[in-house]
Structure 1
Amino acid sequence: MKIVVATHNEGKLPEIRTIIENELGAAAHQVELVSAGSMNLPDPVETGVTFEENALIKARDVAERTGLPALADDSGLIVDILGSAPGILSARWSGVHGHDGANNALLLSQLEDIADEKRGARFCCAAALVIPQDCKESQVDGTPLKARKIVELGEMRGAVIREPRGENGFGYDSIFVPEDQPGRLDNAGRMLTSAEMTAEEKNAISHRHKALTALAPAIKELID
């Protein structure tokens, strides 16, 4: 069964493959993941006001264009004292999409006078799976069923520190210290930022990993 991942970032596919292999075991070989980018599909306009809505917009767009099951995720950082911000605007908080340095600098300046104990935050992710009506996985005895959609959520709690640390990851990873830690400290004896963790350490606790893991049973249902 082919599933199209609604992304132009090929780096997302290995993480999803690993989750599917861990959750589905031997059945994982029945799932073929391809990216929307490899199929030259355009990025849809994300007009939603929640992570769930934007994940569904991306998954629906790919499912409608391909007639195949589609998987998408949307995520961002929510800082407690800022309410829902940066939220769905996380990637363009500074006004320039994907400019990590500018986004981090603006957020740190906004929190400059906030005490350490009040800098709690969480990364949130919504993962969506959409199975189109005319897809064979949405049929019983050849009879089309109603198109299906499944959305699962995941979060990673922690806090925003005062200056960047670490060279790995992307986005706000260098200024975010997760509550869940890998059992080691940095050279100064401090808890690690997401950017100081290895990819394996971060993926084991990440909001995206949790949301995609929760979605795995729906994928297993398709191939069963």
Structure 2
Amino acid sequence: MSIPAEARIVLATGNQGKVREFRALLATQPQLQDLNTEDAVIDSATAGVGDIPETGVTFEENSLIKARAVAQQTGLPAVADDSGLAVDVLGGAPGIFSARWAGAQASDENNRDLLLQQLADISEEHRSAAFVCVASLVTPEGAEYTAYGKLEGTLLATPRGEGGFGYDPILQPAGETRSTAELSMAEKNAISHRGKAFAALAPHLVEVLGA
């Protein structure tokens, strides 16, 4: 395993959208203004860590499973999140299966298309949903921290916007006229489930990265 010398923390994901969001969040922390997030934050693939089976049955369990494994394998602090879309009329599904709703190898578009087909006959007043996230920070010494975030909204009938990833183009946040994919990175981080969870971890991240 060859880890870049500048690496300070590993984000347990191969999703570059999550990496960009996490780096942008760290850049907003005054105590970390001198941190070069492009070099300091690496993803698990760059760290040489393969896929980690998500065997938990809750967002928190899966988040901790990934963070613990990456911290152990790399010897660096690791941050992981497990997040998904909870649709009220589906009893909270897709939930922890959001990333593979249309199958193990499904693309974001495949997952969105299947969900929209399943909700085709559901009227707007019954299309409430929320993005849910649990983020975890685990250090090689065994310290563990978790944080929760949620973004409520309504599911659109068709995708809108080119930003973000996953289900962003079909969720319109409460109080917004735009989809999540039509928000800027800063706007999204300020209200998103992942932004809220990562922000709640920020004091611990500052402590770990500032050491």
TM-score with structure 2 setting the length:
0.86
Alpha-carbon shift at residue 176 of structure 1 (Å): 1.0
Cα distance in 2 for residues equivalent to 1:196 and 1:13: 19
* Greater mean alpha carbon deviation, residues 80-89 or residues 31-40: 31-40
Whether the aligned pair in 1 keeps the contact of 2:59 and 2:96 (CA below 8 Å) is: yes
Q: Cα 1:201–1:93, aligned 2, differ >3 Å: closer, same or farther?
A: same
What's 1:174 paired with? 169
1:154 aligns with 2:149: yes
Find out whether 1:20 has 2:26 as its counterpart.
Answer: yes
The structure number with the bigger radius of gyration is 1
Change (3 A) 1:16 1:101: closer
Secondary structure of 1:34 counterpart: strand
Which whole-Å CA distance do the structure 2 matches of 1:196 and 1:220 have between them? 30
Identity %: 49
Q: Distance in 2 between matches of 1:168 and 1:13?
A: 14
Structure 1: how far apart are the matches of 2:186 and 2:32? 23
**Aligned residue pair count:** 201
Which residue of 1 is the match for residue 118 of structure 2?
A: 110
Pick the aligned partner of 1:59 from 52, 67, 70: 67
State which drifts further: 92-101 or 113-122.
Answer: 92-101
Contact 2:47-2:74 within 8 A present in 1 as well: no
Q: 1 CA distance for matches of 2:22 and 2:110?
A: 29
**1:42 Cα deviation after fit:** 0.7
- Alignment partner, residue 89 of structure 1: 97
User: What displacement does 1:28 show?
Assistant: 4.5
Matched, 1:130 2:116: no
In structure 1, give the amino acid aligned to 2:114: L
Distance (whole Å) between structure 2 residues aligned to residue 161 and residue 7 of structure 1? 27
Q: For structure 2, list consecutive stretches of 5 or more residues without a partner in the other structure.
A: 1-6
- Cα distance in 1, alignment partners of residues 199 and 163 from structure 2: 23
**Residues 213 and 161 from structure 1, CA distance in 2 versus in 1: closer, same or farther, beyond 3 angstroms?**
same
- 70-79 or 105-114: bigger deviation: 105-114
